[in-house]
Structure 1
Amino acid sequence: MKIYKLHKYQKLPISKAKAWEFLSDPSNLKVITPDYMGFDIVDGADRKMYQGQVIQYVVTPIAGIKTKWVTEITHVKEDDFFVDEQRFGPYKLWHHKHFIKEIEGGVEMEDIVHYKLPMGVLGQLVHPFLVKNKLEEIFNYRKQKLEELFGKY
């Protein structure tokens, strides 16, 4: 059972309150997701993030194949962090922690994602060139988009 980890940091020249305001609005996830992913929120993003919130999406990550994804916000500490976990979707496990820390001149955002792929050994074989690369691409896009919105640190 292979569990993978993606760990990303980003600094932005904004207040912690502004970062939280943006990140705690589930509808903003569409803003920071590449258009080619066909990301659409189906249900659950009608209010600011709260513990127990279930959000349903449709994404098209690979070869135009639409995939339903359901996540639950399992932990929230206002202005500091939140955790989303996949309930149904393309991964066998998806656990994503989002931290916001005040630093001099802005904030540092930290993402820690633990994930497991389906299909056993086959999933492990495609991970390096398909899944890992796609996740890196998505998080690089997110970084770029947040810098466009809020400026470079």
Structure 2
Amino acid sequence: MASIFLLQRTQFIPAPLEQVWDFFSNPGNLAKITPAYMKFRVTSPPDERKVYPGQVITYTVCPLAGISLEWMTEITHVQNGDYFVDEQRVGPYRLWHHQHHFREVPGGVEMTDTVHYRLPLGWLGRLAHTLFVKRQLENIFAYRLRVVQELFG
């Protein structure tokens, strides 16, 4: 039986919604909030537009032992200032569905990331999840939380 895993994180950001949306809806900022050891690099042509439905973004990433992987996501849904969704088209996961939600609250923005994901390889994928994938994703999102706090105060 294949398992679909869930990772959900909520963070308060003490900044105006427009400023937060401008930062997170710009794919060029992804590398800024990804740990350096991942060697994350956007490889699609520079695009100064905000995320839009149908946008394809390509990357390289080294999630394990310096092994470089190609990753392609598509922005499937966007409600400006409210949310956007990216879904993996090519990459290390069998399923990757990442929702980014933004809600204006007193003093700033509440940002919630909801990721549903599934690993390939059946029981081997579930074992890899237990041994390192879950912890690695939690560490990546903890890193993002710290960097966002530094960037926005």
Q: TM-score, normalised by structure 1?
A: 0.97
* SS class of match (1:136): helix
Where structure 2 has 5 or more consecutive residues not aligned to the other structure, the ranges are: none
Shift of residue 18, structure 1, vs aligned partner: 0.6
Shift of residue 44, structure 1, vs aligned partner: 4.6
* SS class of match (2:139): helix
Following the alignment from structure 2 to structure 1, what is the Cα–Cα distance between the partners of residues 131 and 137?
11
Show the counterpart of 2:122: 120
CA root-mean-square deviation: 0.8
Show the counterpart of 2:75: 73
Matches within 5 A, 1:53-64: 53-64=55-66
Show the counterpart of 2:24: 23
Tell me if structure 2 keeps the 8 A contact 1:50–1:76. Answer: yes
Tell me if structure 2 keeps the 8 A contact 1:71–1:84. Answer: yes
Matches within 5 A, 1:1-153: 1-47=2-48, 48-151=50-153
Shift of residue 125, structure 1, vs aligned partner: 1.0
Following the alignment from structure 2 to structure 1, what is the Cα–Cα distance between the partners of residues 102 and 30?
16
Shift of residue 128, structure 1, vs aligned partner: 1.8
Where structure 1 has 5 or more consecutive residues not aligned to the other structure, the ranges are: none
- Residue type of the partner of 1:135? L
Residues 112-145 of structure 1: per-residue CA shift (max 9 Å, x gap): 0000001100110121221000000000000000
Following the alignment from structure 2 to structure 1, what is the Cα–Cα distance between the partners of residues 11 and 46?
24
- Residue type of the partner of 2:127? L
Tell me if structure 2 keeps the 8 A contact 1:44–1:53. Answer: no
* SS class of match (1:27): helix
Point out 4+ residue stretches in structure 1 off by more than 3 angstroms: none
Instruction: Give the share of equivalent positions with the same residue, in percent.
Output: 53
- Residue type of the partner of 2:7? L
Of residues 13-22 and 122-131 in structure 1, the stretch that sits farther from structure 2 once superposed is: 122-131
- Residue type of the partner of 1:138? I
Tell me if structure 2 keeps the 8 A contact 1:98–1:112. Answer: yes
